[in-house]
C-alpha cells in the first residue's frame, strides 16, 4: 500500500440520536498529498464513526490519514486502526481517535510519575501465598460466606450458560479449569481484533485471569476445590497485555466478542488503562469513553450481563478526586472509571473475612450494586480456615490466595451465572435485578464513611451476593 495519502480533514463531531457523540466520515479531500511516516513505532487507536458506516468508507479515510484498519465493528461504528504518524489522532480529530499505548509509551512527565504510583493497585492483587494443602475446602471461607456449597447441592449451573472472563487469560490445563473452559469461544483481543489461536488467549505473564476463573466455575475433586458455579462454561477473552495494561481497543473487542458469541455473563476485574477516569468531554478521553460505552451497550442489547470490580483505591466513587491519579488530568462528575462506571454494568465492592468492607475497596452512594468476598490483609480467619485473601487457582496447576475487588467480582459473576441457569433466556437487566434482590442486606456498621440503609448503601450496595438464594 502506498504511504503517500491525500489529507482528509474530518468534520467536527456531531450529536447523533439521543445526543450521543457520533463522528461523520470525511467526504472531501483538499488538494495535495502528505507523506506518511514509514519508520516510527506504530500504535493502535480506537476511532469513532457513525454506526453502520461501510467498511470501505472507513478504509478510505484511514488510508488517507496514514492509518491501517486492524478491526472494524460496524454495528457500533468503532474502528481499531494502526498508524506510525505522531499526528494521526489530530488528523482525525482528538474527539474521534485515541491511543492508550501511545500515551503509555510517550507520557508527559507528570503522567509518568502518577502512573508509577498507580501501579500499586495492580500489586494489591498479586499472589500472596501458594497453598499446598491436599484438601482445600476448609480454606474456602469465601464460598461459605455466599452459601455456594449449599447452592451447588441444588444447582451447579448449566453448561448452556457461558461466562466470558475478560482478563489476562485462563490456564487451559489447570485441573480446576480444564473441564469448564471452552476453547471454541475463547479469543485474544489485545490487538483490538479477535484471535482464536490458543496462544492469543492463554496466560503469559499473569495468572490473574486464572484465579478469577477458578472462583467463577472451578472444580477439582482431587483437591476438593469448587467455585461458585462449577456447571457453567467459561471463555477466556484475553484483554490484558503482557505489561498488565488493558487498552480501550482490547475491551471493545472483548465486549463485541461476548455479544457475538451469546455469553450470558462477563466478568471484568480491571479498569481500562492508561487513565483511571475517562471524561467524555475531554479530547482523547472522549473517543475512548464513547468506544467502550458503545461496545458495552451493544453487548447488553445482545443479552450479556457485564459484572465489574469496584477498584482497589479506597475511593469514594461518588466524590472522585479532582485529578486522575494515573495521569493528573482534571476529573469532574461526568468522568467514570471504565467499564464499571457505565450504565447497566454491575459494580461489585469487596469485603474481608469479617464481612466488612475491605480496606482497599472503592465505594460510593449509587456506585456499588452488590458486594462479595475479595479478602482483606487485616481480616484474618481462625486457624485452619485459610488466609485473609481469597483462595483460587493460580499458575502451574497450583492454588494460591489473592486480595482485591478483582476477587470479589467473580463471586458476583458466578452467582449471576447461577441465576441465568435457573432462569434461561431472561434479559441481562432481569438477571441484574435478581442478583440485587436476592443479596443479603449488609448494614453500614460504625464506619461513618458508609451512607445509607442496609437495603442499599455506599459500601455494600444491595448487599452480599447469595448463591443459594439465586438457585431457589
Q: Average pLDDT of 266-273?
A: 97
- pLDDT tens readout for residues 111-166: 665 565 555 555 668 888 899 888 999 999 999 999 999 999 999 999 999 999 99
- pLDDT tens readout for residues 302-328: 999 999 999 999 999 999 999 999 988
| Lowest pLDDT segment from 109-123, 195-209, 359-373 | 109-123
Q: How far apart are CA 435 and CA 319, in angstroms?
A: 26
- pLDDT value at position 141? 98
Q: Average pLDDT of 396-420?
A: 98
Q: Average pLDDT of 433-442?
A: 98
Q: How far is CA 338 from CA 98, 288, 310, in A?
A: 15, 10, 10
- In 299-345, DSSP assigns E strands to 305-309
Q: Average pLDDT of 339-352?
A: 98
Regarding whether 144 and 193 lie in a shared domain, the answer is yes
Q: Does residue 222 lie in a domain region? A: yes
Regarding whether 138 and 27 lie in a shared domain, the answer is no
Q: 262 by DSSP, 3-state: which?
A: coil
DSSP code for 105: H
Regarding whether 229 and 179 lie in a shared domain, the answer is yes
Regarding whether 445 and 346 lie in a shared domain, the answer is yes
User: Counting beta carbons within 10 angstroms of the beta carbon of residue 6, is it exposed (0 to 12), middle (13 to 18) or buried (19 or more)?
Assistant: middle
| Lowest pLDDT segment from 30-44, 181-195, 263-277, 384-398 | 30-44
Regarding whether 145 and 233 lie in a shared domain, the answer is yes
Regarding whether 251 and 200 lie in a shared domain, the answer is yes
* Percent of the residues in the chain that have a pLDDT greater than 90, as a whole number: 86
Higher pLDDT, 35 or 53: 53
Res. 27: pLDDT tops 60: no
Cell representation of residue 300: 447488553
Paired strand residues for 371: 349, 464
Q: Does residue 113 lie in a domain region? A: no
Q: How many structural domains compose the chain?
A: 2
- Helix (H) or strand (E) holding 187, with range, is strand 187-188
Query: How many CB atoms lie under 10 A from the CB of residue 419?
Result: 29
DSSP code for 308: E
- pLDDT value at position 295? 98
- pLDDT value at position 189? 98
Paired strand residues for 181: 234
Q: Does residue 106 lie in a domain region? A: no
Q: Does residue 132 lie in a domain region? A: yes
- CATH code for the domain of 258: 3.40.50.200
Q: Does residue 413 lie in a domain region? A: yes
Pairing of β 233-238 and β 162-167: parallel
Q: How far is CA 133 from CA 125, 176, 212, in A?
A: 22, 15, 20
- pLDDT value at position 133? 87
User: Counting beta carbons within 10 angstroms of the beta carbon of residue 286, is it exposed (0 to 12), middle (13 to 18) or buried (19 or more)?
Assistant: buried
- pLDDT tens readout for residues 245-257: 999 999 999 999 9
Q: 260 by DSSP, 3-state: which?
A: helix
Domain ends where: 31, 63, 98?
98
Concatenating the DSSP letter of every residue in 342-409 gives STT-EEEEEE-TTSSB-TT--B-TTT--EEEE---SS-PPPTTS--SSEEEEEGGGEEEEE-SHHHHH
Q: Does residue 452 lie in a domain region? A: yes
Regarding whether 441 and 368 lie in a shared domain, the answer is yes
Regarding whether 250 and 198 lie in a shared domain, the answer is yes
Regarding whether 164 and 86 lie in a shared domain, the answer is no
- pLDDT value at position 426? 97
Q: How far apart are CA 224 and CA 77, in angstroms?
A: 47
Q: How far apart are CA 151 and CA 470, in angstroms?
A: 8
DSSP code for 137: G
Pairing of β 265-268 and β 233-238: unpaired
- pLDDT value at position 183? 98
- pLDDT value at position 30? 38
Res. 79: pLDDT tops 90: yes
Domain ends where: 39, 63, 98?
98
User: Counting beta carbons within 10 angstroms of the beta carbon of residue 203, is it exposed (0 to 12), middle (13 to 18) or buried (19 or more)?
Assistant: buried
Regarding whether 184 and 250 lie in a shared domain, the answer is yes
* Structure confidence at residue 422 as a pLDDT band (50, 70, 90): very high
Q: How far apart are CA 94 and CA 284, in angstroms?
A: 5
Q: Does residue 134 lie in a domain region? A: yes
- pLDDT value at position 14? 36
* Percent of the residues in the chain that have a pLDDT greater than 70, as a whole number: 89
Paired strand residues for 323: 330
Nearest to 314 by CA among 359, 376, 365, 372: 359
Q: How far is CA 254 from CA 46, 215, 249, in A?
A: 14, 20, 9
Q: How far apart are CA 194 and CA 22, in angstroms?
A: 24
Regarding whether 204 and 66 lie in a shared domain, the answer is no
Pairing of β 305-309 and β 346-351: parallel
- Its domain, for residue 132, covers 120-471
Res. 360: pLDDT tops 60: yes
pLDDT mean across residues, the chain: 91
Cell representation of residue 335: 468522568
Cell representation of residue 215: 472462583
**Cβ contact 415:467 at 8 Å:** yes
Cell representation of residue 198: 490458543
CA angle (267 as vertex; 157, 111 as ends), nearest 5: 170
Regarding whether 144 and 39 lie in a shared domain, the answer is no
- pLDDT value at position 329? 87
User: Counting beta carbons within 10 angstroms of the beta carbon of residue 398, is it exposed (0 to 12), middle (13 to 18) or buried (19 or more)?
Assistant: middle
Q: Does residue 111 lie in a domain region? A: no
pTM (predicted TM-score): 0.92
Q: How far is CA 128 from CA 84, 292, 328, 378, in A?
A: 41, 32, 30, 13
Amino acid at each position: 500500500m502506498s504511504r503517500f495519502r491525500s489529507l482528509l480533514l474530518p468534520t467536527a463531531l456531531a450529536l447523533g440520536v439521543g445526543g450521543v457523540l457520533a463522528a461523520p466520515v470525511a467526504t472531501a479531500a483538499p488538494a495535495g498529498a502528505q507523506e506518511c511516516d514509514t519508520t516510527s513505532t506504530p500504535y493502535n487507536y480506537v476511532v469513532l464513526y457513525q454506526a453502520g458506516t461501510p467498511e470501505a468508507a472507513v478504509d478510505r479515510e484511514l488510508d488517507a490519514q496514514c492509518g491501517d484498519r486492524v478491526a472494524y465493528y460496524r454495528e457500533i461504528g468503532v474502528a481499531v486502526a494502526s498508524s506510525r504518524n505522531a499526528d494521526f489522532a489530530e488528523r482525525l480529530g482528538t474527539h474521534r481517535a485515541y491511543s492508550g499505548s501511545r500515551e503509555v509509551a510517550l507520557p508527559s512527565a507528570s503522567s509518568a510519575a502518577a502512573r508509577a504510583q498507580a501501579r500499586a493497585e495492580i500489586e494489591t492483587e498479586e499472589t500472596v501465598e501458594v497453598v499446598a494443602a491436599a484438601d482445600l475446602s476448609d480454606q474456602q471461607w469465601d464460598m461459605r460466606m455466599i452459601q455456594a456449597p449449599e447452592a451447588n447441592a441444588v444447582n451447579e449451573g448449566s453448561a448452556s450458560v457461558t461466562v466470558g472472563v475478560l482478563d489476562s487469560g485462563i490456564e487451559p490445563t489447570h485441573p480446576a479449569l480444564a473441564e469448564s473452559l471452552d476453547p471454541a469461544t475463547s479469543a485474544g483481543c489485545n490487538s483490538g481484533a479477535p484471535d482464536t489461536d490458543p496462544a492469543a488467549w492463554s496466560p503469559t505473564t499473569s495468572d490473574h485471569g486464572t484465579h478469577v476463573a477458578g472462583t467463577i466455575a472451578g472444580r477439582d475433586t482431587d483437591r476438593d476445590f469448587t467455585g461458585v458455579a462449577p456447571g457453567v462454561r467459561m471463555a477466556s477473552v484475553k484483554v490484558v497485555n503482557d505489561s498488565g495494561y488493558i487498552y480501550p481497543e482490547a475491551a471493545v473487542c472483548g465486549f463485541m466478542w461476548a455479544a457475538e458469541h451469546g455469553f450470558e455473563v462477563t466478568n471484568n476485574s480491571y479498569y481500562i488503562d492508561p487513565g483511571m477516569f475517562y471524561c467524555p468531554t475531554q479530547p482523547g478521553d472522549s473517543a475512548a469513553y464513547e468506544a467502550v460505552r458503545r461496545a458495552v451497550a451493544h453487548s447488553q442489547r445482545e443479552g450479556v450481563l457485564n459484572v465489574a470490580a469496584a477498584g482497589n483505591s479506597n475511593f469514594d466513587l461518588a466524590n472522585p478526586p479532582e485529578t486522575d491519579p494515573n495521569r493528573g488530568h482534571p476529573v469532574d462528575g461526568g468522568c467514570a472509571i471504565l467499564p464499571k462506571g457505565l450504565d447497566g454494568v454491575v459494580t461489585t465492592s469487596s469485603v474481608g473475612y469479617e464481612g466488612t468492607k475491605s480496606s482497599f475497596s472503592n465505594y460510593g452512594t449509587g456506585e456499588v450494586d452488590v458486594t462479595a468476598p475479595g479478602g482483606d490483609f487485616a481480616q484474618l480467619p481462625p486457624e485452619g480456615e485459610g488466609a485473609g485473601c481469597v483462595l483460587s487457582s493460580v499458575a502451574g496447576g497450583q492454588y494460591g490466595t489473592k486480595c482485591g475487588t478483582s476477587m470479589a467480582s467473580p463471586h458476583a459473576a458466578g452467582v449471576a451465572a447461577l441465576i441465568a441457569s435457573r432462569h434461561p433466556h431472561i434479559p441481562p437487566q432481569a438477571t441484574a435485578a435478581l442478583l440485587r434482590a436476592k443479596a443479603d442486606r449488609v448494614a453500614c456498621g460504625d464506619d461513618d464513611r458508609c451512607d445509607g440503609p442496609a437495603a442499599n448503601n455506599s459500601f455494600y450496595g444491595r448487599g452480599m451476593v447469595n448463591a443459594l438464594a439465586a438457585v431457589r
